[in-house]
Amino acid sequence: MKKILLTLLLVTCTQLLLAFEPSALNLKVPSDLERSSMVFEIQHRFYGDLTEDPLENFFGLDVGANVNLGIRYAILDRLELYAAYTRFEKEYRVAASYAYHFPQIYVRTQINLEYFSFKVGQERQQNFFYGLGLQSEPIFDAVTATVNSGYDGYNEKFGLGFGIDLGFDWEFGPIEHVALLGEYYPVLQSEEPITGPENSFAGGVRVDTYGHHFMILIGNNTHIGARRLMLGAASNDIRLGLTVQRLLQF
């Protein structure tokens, strides 16, 4: 019976999409999703220090992890809704975004409006995050730059995030593309740090297959998403992270 249900599900999901924007580690990148397509996402950020007794705590994996589950759905081409849940502070997020491409100047843009709610003690706090994403078209078919800016209504903070994607096609088995990724989030208004005084940073590798993105990364922040990373990091301890994305079209 389980095999029959699985087969029906695979038939319902008629095909995987070829058009899948180059995902970042945490930054929002302008969407390339077509109408009625969907992306499932799971992210892990392990709490343990990668460099502290790596064999004893298995590279920080034994200490637990912050986990995020998310789903994106395109109502129209590049117009999408997003919903997610993050373990830390039991945070819920729902968002709407629209991406527009300017091929004449080799730039893609996306505006995001996100409602978020998280728990502090026994009380829930909520507000909005207003974001703008910019991304270049691939330079020499290899280098892509991304910039995020946003305003956190709860913390009343403006933030920035910068990313670089150095990728190349690699037709090897199921692998289609491999990219080296880097991100940096400077702490603005550092006299009043929220999460911590350190600038957030991350680096990793993304492997693209037909309908999947797999990412492994290291960084100094266990939070997930650009809004959280814009608020700083508590320390510069290095931690491991994983992301898996699955793309479907109905």
Contact 84, 68 (CB under 8 A): yes
Query: What CATH number does residue 38 fall under?
Result: 2.40.160.40
Distances (CA, A) of 200 to 89, 131, 135, 161, 192: 19, 18, 20, 9, 16
Distances (CA, A) of 130 to 34, 73, 140, 148, 162: 23, 19, 32, 11, 17
Tokens coding 102: 């300017």
Residue 247 has a CB neighbour count (10 Å cut-off) of 22
Taking only the tens of pLDDT, the chain with its 250 residues reads 444 444 434 434 444 444 478 899 999 999 999 999 999 999 999 999 988 776 666 666 778 899 999 999 999 999 999 999 999 999 999 999 999 999 999 999 999 999 999 999 899 999 999 999 999 999 998 999 999 999 999 999 999 999 999 999 988 888 999 999 999 999 997 667 799 999 999 999 999 998 899 999 999 999 999 999 999 999 999 999 999 999 998 7
Looking up tokens 């003690």, which residue turns up? 121
- Indicate if the alpha-carbon torsion angle 148, 153, 154, 158 is positive or negative: positive
* pLDDT reported for residue 61: 72
Give the count of domains, the chain.
1
* pLDDT reported for residue 250: 77
- Indicate if the alpha-carbon torsion angle 181, 186, 192, 198 is positive or negative: positive
Q: What is the dihedral of CA 56, 232, 95, 44, to 10 degrees?
A: -10
What are the φ and ψ backbone dihedral angles of 237, each rounded to 5 degrees? -60, 140
* pLDDT reported for residue 161: 99
Host domain of residue 181? 2-249
* pLDDT reported for residue 171: 80
Q: Rounded distance, CA 199 to CA 229, Å? A: 8
pTM of the model: 0.89
* pLDDT reported for residue 10: 40
Tokens coding 179: 């990219």
Q: Which residues contact 12 (CB under 8 A, 6 or more apart)?
A: 250
* 3-state SS, one letter per residue, for 205-227: EEEEECCEEEEEEEECCCCCCHH
Per DSSP, what are the bridge partners of residue 81?
73, 96
* pLDDT reported for residue 44: 96
Number of H helices, E strands in the chain: 2, 12
